[in-house]
């Protein structure tokens, strides 16, 4: 059997992996699951899955003083500072204790990977120290690593990033670099993809409204957890506090002075990110101070243009009042109401500025000039304005505004080539099927599970020279002991 390890931070996510693990067994792959949460480990054991590793973070943090310089030398991408600073559940621990946790986990993963001959480590985008360290140790050992992210068509595709912790993947990079001649078939594939993505966006972009009953339910649920266990698990406490913050923000939203778009104004659209989201905290950590970034955009925007900023529709209420207050003090910045359609803003914007948001991808689909600050896959788009040095931000914005949509009109084939490279190299089926996000629900058809298992198998073992690898051309069968 070939061994791979997958990190899982929630019960639904773990149940998904167990479903896939049974199918991977028929392909000669043993799936080891890793979690720092006892409730997740208990649920996996209840499902009858034997290969589950529970990492006790508090016990691990009681170790002796680590060799910091040795750790800094070993971990260069991501660095020790990046991994520790992104951690949120244990983020309030003293730095010395977090460093001891870091070193203890490194020691654990080195031992576990050797004893079980782990070939590949698989994670979702994460800020957690446990999963990021599993990934970092694997990279330091020269092992294969994968970060699974939503694909360009969220409900139908996934991508398996085998390059780094960011939002890209080698098959796309290689395909786009070939600059293939554009054909009618490619144009048709692109047209169909844009239609599907537009429909998805229309279903998903409604802002969640405040609900006093939902707020009361969250308070009651957190209180019950404290009464039952003395205190909630750190991750549960974090999630409940964050949920309460969002719900309170939504309830108080009528008191916040939002703006509506002015059809007569020329504007640059900047979708706000959440500081704790892996898209920023892990993939672009230097852009976490969103208020400071909005101020930079204000300074870089020429007279006669406004900067429209807007909260994510799913996270509205989560942007704190300090950011709102700072934005309102800037003369050329408007905080747009969360209920306003992002598609409407993307369509009418003179330019879009994105760090790692799906809005950047959607701006390309709508042929809106795009300025990219972060390092997502669309930063490689040859028609985008990439900012590698913040001092270049005013010049790149200036160029985007001057060129406008003409850049797309003069390079239509390049636009088609890029979109085709993205959608044609994404893998079929969504690895987010355990969520209710965008209506995915739990569509656990055999075909879907088999396709996902095959995708994970191929991605995890790509280029593996081991003769034991049994690459069957048939779909994986459901094992006899698979959960029904």
pTM of the model: 0.87
Q: Respond yes or no on whether the N-terminal peptide bond of residue 78 is cis (omega within 30° of 0).
A: yes
Do 326 and 413 have their domain in common? yes
CA–CA separation, 301 vs 289, rounded Å?
19
Do 225 and 286 have their domain in common? no
Contact 6, 160 (CB under 8 A): no
Contact 340, 313 (CB under 8 A): no
CA–CA separation, 257 vs 407, rounded Å?
36
Do 222 and 269 have their domain in common? no
Report, as ranges of residue numbers, the positions in the chain whose pLDDT lies below 50: 467, 470-473, 479-484
Do 139 and 86 have their domain in common? yes
Residue with tokens 């790692």: 356
Contact 71, 106 (CB under 8 A): yes
Instruction: Tell whether 188 is covered by a domain.
Output: no
How many domains does the chain divide into?
Answer: 3
CA–CA separation, 91 vs 84, rounded Å?
8
Residue with tokens 């795009």: 370
- Within 8 A by CB and 6+ apart from 51, the residues are 21, 30, 31, 32, 33
Do 434 and 420 have their domain in common? no
Considering 194, 226, 251, which residue would you say is the last residue of a domain?
A: 251
pLDDT tens-digit readout, 268-308? 999 988 777 778 878 888 888 888 999 999 999 999 999 99
Instruction: Tell whether 413 is covered by a domain.
Output: yes
Do 339 and 451 have their domain in common? no
Structural domain boundaries, residue 355: 257-425
Angle at 344 between CA 159 and CA 330, to 5 degrees: 100
Q: In the prediction, which pLDDT does 349 show?
A: 97
Q: In the prediction, which pLDDT does 273 show?
A: 83
Contact 122, 134 (CB under 8 A): no
Do 268 and 305 have their domain in common? yes
Considering 425, 447, 477, which residue would you say is the last residue of a domain?
A: 425
Considering 425, 452, 473, which residue would you say is the last residue of a domain?
A: 425
Instruction: Tell whether 475 is covered by a domain.
Output: no
Partners of 257 in beta bridges: none
Do 348 and 234 have their domain in common? no
Q: In this structure, what token pair is assigned to residue 442?
A: 């739990």
Backbone torsions φ then ψ of 205, nearest 5 degrees: -90, 5
Instruction: Tell whether 466 is covered by a domain.
Output: no
Do 386 and 334 have their domain in common? yes
Instruction: Tell whether 53 is covered by a domain.
Output: yes
Do 288 and 399 have their domain in common? yes
CA–CA separation, 371 vs 353, rounded Å?
5
Q: In this structure, what token pair is assigned to residue 273?
A: 């990110």
Own/partner pairs, 294-298, CB within 8 angstroms, 24+ separation: 294/270, 294/323, 294/326, 294/327, 294/330, 294/333, 295/326, 295/330, 296/390, 296/393, 297/268, 297/270, 297/333, 297/353, 297/393, 297/397, 298/330, 298/331, 298/332, 298/333
Q: In this structure, what token pair is assigned to residue 427?
A: 């893998």
**Angle (deg, nearest 10), helices 184-204 and 412-425:** 70
Nearest CA-CA partner of 259 in 354, 345, 348, 355: 345
Instruction: Tell whether 192 is covered by a domain.
Output: no
CA–CA separation, 74 vs 79, rounded Å?
9
What CATH number corresponds to the domain at position 71? 3.40.50
CA–CA separation, 279 vs 275, rounded Å?
9
Instruction: Tell whether 165 is covered by a domain.
Output: no
Do 237 and 289 have their domain in common? no
What CATH number corresponds to the domain at position 287? 3.40.50.2000
The sign of the dihedral angle between the CA atoms of 65, 66, 67, 68 is: negative
């Amino acid at each position: 059997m070939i061994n791979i390890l997958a990190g899982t931070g929630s019960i639904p996510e773990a149940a998904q992996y167990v479903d896939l693990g049974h199918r991977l067994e028929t392909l000669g792959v043993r799936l080891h699951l890793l979690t720092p949460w006892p409730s997740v480990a208990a649920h996996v054991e209840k499902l009858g899955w034997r290969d589950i590793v529970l990492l006790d973070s508090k016990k691990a943090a009681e170790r002796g003083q680590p060799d910091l310089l040795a750790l800094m030398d070993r971990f260069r991408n991501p660095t020790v500072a990046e991994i520790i600073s992104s951690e949120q559940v244990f983020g309030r621990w003293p730095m010395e204790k977090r460093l001891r946790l870091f070193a203890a986990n490194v020691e654990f993963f080195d031992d576990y990977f050797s004893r079980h001959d782990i070939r590949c480590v698989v994670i979702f985008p994460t800020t957690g120290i446990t999963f990021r360290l599993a990934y970092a140790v694997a990279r330091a050992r020269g092992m294969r690593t994968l970060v699974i992210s939503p694909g360009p068509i969220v409900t139908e595709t996934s991508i398996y990033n085998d390059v780094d912790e960011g939002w890209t993947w080698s098959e796309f990079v290689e395909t786009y670099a070939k600059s293939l001649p554009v054909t009618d078939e490619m144009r048709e594939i692109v047209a169909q993809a844009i239609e599907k993505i537009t429909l998805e966006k229309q279903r998903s972009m409604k802002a969640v409204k405040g609900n006093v009953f939902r707020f009361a339910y969250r308070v009651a649920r957190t209180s019950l957890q404290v009464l039952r266990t003395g205190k909630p698990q750190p991750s549960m406490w974090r999630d409940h506090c964050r949920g309460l913050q969002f719900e309170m923000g939504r309830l108080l939203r009528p008191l916040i002075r939002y703006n509506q778009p002015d059809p007569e104004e020329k504007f640059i659209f900047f979708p706000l990110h959440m500081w704790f989201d892996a898209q920023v905290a892990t993939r672009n950590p230097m852009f976490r101070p969103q208020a400071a970034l909005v101020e930079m955009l204000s300074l870089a925007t020429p007279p006669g243009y406004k900067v429209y900023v807007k909260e994510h529709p799913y996270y509205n209420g989560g942007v704190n009042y300090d950011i709102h207050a700072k934005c309102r003090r800037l003369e050329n910045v408007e905080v747009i109401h969360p209920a306003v359609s992002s598609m409407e803003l993307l369509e009418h914007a003179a330019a879009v500025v994105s760090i790692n948001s799906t809005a950047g991808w959607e701006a390309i689909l709508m042929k809106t000039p795009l300025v990219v600050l972060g390092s997502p896959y669309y930063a490689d788009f040859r028609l985008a304005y990439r900012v590698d040095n913040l001092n270049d931000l005013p010049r790149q914005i200036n160029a985007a505004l001057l060129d406008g949509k003409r850049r797309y009109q003069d390079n239509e084939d390049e636009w088609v080539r890029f979109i085709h490279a993205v959608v044609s190299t994404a893998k079929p089926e969504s690895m987010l099927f355990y969520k209710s996000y965008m209506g995915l629900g739990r569509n656990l058809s055999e075909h879907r599970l088999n396709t996902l298992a095959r995708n994970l198998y191929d991605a995890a073992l790509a280029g593996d020279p081991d003769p034991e690898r049994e690459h069957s051309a048939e779909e994986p069968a459901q094992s006899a002991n698979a959960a029904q």
